[in-house]
Structure 1
Amino acid sequence: MTELSSPSSTPRPQRFIPIAVAGAAAPRSRQGKRLAFQVGFFVLFVLAPVFDLLRYDLNADHAWLLGMEWRLGLDDFLAGKATALEAAGNIMLRLFVPLFAGAGLFIWAAWKWGRLYCGWLCPHFSVVETINKLMARASGKPSVWEKFPLPRWNSDGSPRRVDARWWAVVVPAAVAFAFLWAVVLLTYLLPPAEVYGNLFSGSLTRNQFIFITAATVVLSLEFLFARHLFCRFVCAVGLFQSLAWMSNKDAMVVGFKRDRASDCASCLPERQSACDAVCPMRLKPRNIKRHMFTCTQCAQCVDACGETQRDNPDGPLLAWVSGEAARQNEAGFRAIRER
């Protein structure tokens, strides 16, 4: 992570991202806002096809956007009423220009702020976090692949409670999310009224039944065994965000006051770190930026640090930074290696 101060050099001016609110209530306030964004976007993900905000209709062979039919303008060409040049122009204006403009805006946001979409909006990542928390309640570990259990204490000082009976919630929740995702994905391809009507009446077509069943099985396995692994190593949307973020040395990162590392290593009883425990991607938040390639900017590590250090007059050790403070990241680690 970025080194915010160094005892061996003159402190440089640093620019903090004014998202965190000072005071003990800031962590819960920020995570509350993030939860509201996640819930809102998940609802939008489910309802967008219903209101024709965004979907492609395989039956009608055209897309819907913001309640309007979105066609490529090839009907006249197919009927012999337009030239090939006019058809190519329609494809460029109605497909490639909007596509590249949207992708450009998305990549620019990632270049500046990192995988903010993943941490604050992505409906898949919200499922990842939900099942992580349920699994931690059931087993003390957020993933079946975790080697060691989480610390026995939460960042707010309360004891972490583990009860194996929560497995009765974990598995049904994963299957329920998978089923919901399967149905919603199908409504992006077929008229939602047809899909939901057939589902509620128990009259799904053979292809609809196969799609929903296969997708539910695959997604159930993914949600149970490979949630954050999918986000880290498979998701193309996340990969392009990470590549854009890594190319910008001034991009927003989690900064770390390295000269106070001893405080961070013992912020929980038994000399454990709260920031390591809360990361849903199972990263080490105090690490160098290139080792944080898949950071989703969820700020849970920042907020956990704020809670553990709330009574420390020196304040927390982690904070969002950008600009020159972010550039000190690589320089700080190189200086450590040279000593």
Structure 2
Amino acid sequence: MDKVQILRKISQIFFFIYFIFFTSFCLCFFGLIEKFILKGSFGSLVLKLVVIIVLTLLFGRVFCGWMCPFGFLMELSYKLRAKIYKLKKLPKVSEELHNKLIYFKYLVMILSLVLTYYLATYAFCKVCPIGFLTNLYGTVISLIILITFLIASFFLPMTFCRYFCPLGAFLSIFSIRPLFILKTNNNCVKCRLCEFKCPMQIKITENVNQKECIRCFECKSSCKKGGISFSIK
């Protein structure tokens, strides 16, 4: 494990522990948006939303790959399977189906906001998988969703992040053209080892989809030629 991955694991563990044991500490900026719809203000938590958006504009979806507690659990799930079965390539779905499903999370995002507005309730918070662990708005439904997607991620990496997460959908809007981008360089030999290790099923050797990339840097760590760069475009 290289230094970047070590730092990322430290970050993930820190935010996971902080999120679980300090229930008043909510990282969910989507919840802040729901709060604005319901109450007309962000309150004292607006700084969190601003910081996360700025980070996304600069570096892409680093929240997803470095801070999200549910993303951390799902990563542990698929890596457990990879270790048990000694997988050299992560499981994938067909490209045609994958390219359609990645837009489903935008529908979830819009639906959550519409329900929040018309039902006057925290629609997404009520079913948020991580909400059950923190007791913020945990329900039986959130527990079922938590278990379902942990199992799903065991078979297909980051299932929730790829296709269902409204937070990821919201952040992807700000990460279409981040200042720092992930890209291949002249050292790339098109071996596709990076693609075999990408949990988001991104065609890295063809064109890195910045808005789908969660900045886990598994591709960069797996490249033996130094063929992937993360720098200002």
Normalized against structure 1, the TM-score is what? Answer: 0.48
- Tell me, in whole angstroms, the C-alpha distance in 1 between the residues paired with 2:137 and 2:152: 27
Aligned to 2:195: 276
Distance change >3 Å, CA 298–CA 42, structure 1 → 2: same
Work out which of the residue numbers 114, 125, 129 in structure 1 matches 2:75.
Answer: 129
SS of 1:298's equivalent in the other structure is coil
Work out which of the residue numbers 171, 176, 184 in structure 1 matches 2:133.
Answer: 184
Aligned to 1:107: 53
Aligned to 1:255: 183
The letter of the residue matching 2:142 is A
- Tell me, in whole angstroms, the C-alpha distance in 2 between the residues paired with 1:225 and 1:33: 27
The letter of the residue matching 2:181 is V
- Tell me, in whole angstroms, the C-alpha distance in 2 between the residues paired with 1:122 and 1:114: 14
Shift of 1:53: 4.3
Deviations 1:63-91 (A, max 9, x none): xxxxxxxxxxxxxxxxxxxxxxxxxxxx7
Distance change >3 Å, CA 293–CA 183, structure 1 → 2: closer
- Tell me, in whole angstroms, the C-alpha distance in 2 between the residues paired with 1:279 and 1:108: 25
Work out which of the residue numbers 272, 290, 293 in structure 1 matches 2:211.
Answer: 293
- Tell me, in whole angstroms, the C-alpha distance in 1 between the residues paired with 2:48 and 2:19: 17
Distance change >3 Å, CA 101–CA 235, structure 1 → 2: same
CA contact (8 A) 1:45 1:123 kept: yes
Higher alpha-carbon Rg: 1
Question: Structure 1: where are the runs of 5+ without partners?
Answer: 1-26, 56-90, 148-179, 191-210, 266-272, 310-315, 327-339
Q: What aligned pairs does 1:102-181 form with structure 2 within 5 A after superposition?
A: 102-139=48-85, 140=87, 142-143=90-91, 146=93, 181=130
CA contact (8 A) 1:285 1:292 kept: no
Aligned residues: 183
1:242 aligns with 2:161: no
- Tell me, in whole angstroms, the C-alpha distance in 2 between the residues paired with 1:136 and 1:221: 19
Point out 4+ residue stretches in structure 1 off by more than 6 angstroms.
none
- Tell me, in whole angstroms, the C-alpha distance in 1 between the residues paired with 2:48 and 2:143: 30
Shift of 1:294: 1.0
- Tell me, in whole angstroms, the C-alpha distance in 1 between the residues paired with 2:25 and 2:227: 43
Distance change >3 Å, CA 100–CA 247, structure 1 → 2: farther
SS of 2:42's equivalent in the other structure is helix
Deviations 1:174-205 (A, max 9, x none): xxxxxx946424x2248xxxxxxxxxxxxxxx
- Tell me, in whole angstroms, the C-alpha distance in 1 between the residues paired with 2:161 and 2:214: 10
SS of 1:320's equivalent in the other structure is strand
1:223 aligns with 2:197: no
Distance change >3 Å, CA 96–CA 217, structure 1 → 2: closer
- Tell me, in whole angstroms, the C-alpha distance in 1 between the residues paired with 2:181 and 2:26: 32
- Tell me, in whole angstroms, the C-alpha distance in 2 between the residues paired with 1:287 and 1:293: 15
- Tell me, in whole angstroms, the C-alpha distance in 2 between the residues paired with 1:135 and 1:105: 34
The letter of the residue matching 1:188 is L
Distance change >3 Å, CA 137–CA 281, structure 1 → 2: same
SS of 1:296's equivalent in the other structure is coil
Shift of 1:111: 0.7
- Tell me, in whole angstroms, the C-alpha distance in 2 between the residues paired with 1:256 and 1:54: 36
Question: Structure 2: where are the runs of 5+ without partners?
Answer: 28-38, 95-128
SS of 2:49's equivalent in the other structure is helix
Distance change >3 Å, CA 281–CA 218, structure 1 → 2: same
User: RMSD of aligned C-alpha atoms?
Assistant: 2.8
- Tell me, in whole angstroms, the C-alpha distance in 1 between the residues paired with 2:25 and 2:145: 27
CA contact (8 A) 1:38 1:122 kept: yes
Shift of 1:34: 0.7
Work out which of the residue numbers 13, 16, 22 in structure 2 matches 1:42.
Answer: 16
CA contact (8 A) 1:283 1:292 kept: no
Deviations 1:252-302 (A, max 9, x none): 111212x444x342xxxxxxx32112212122223324x342101111111
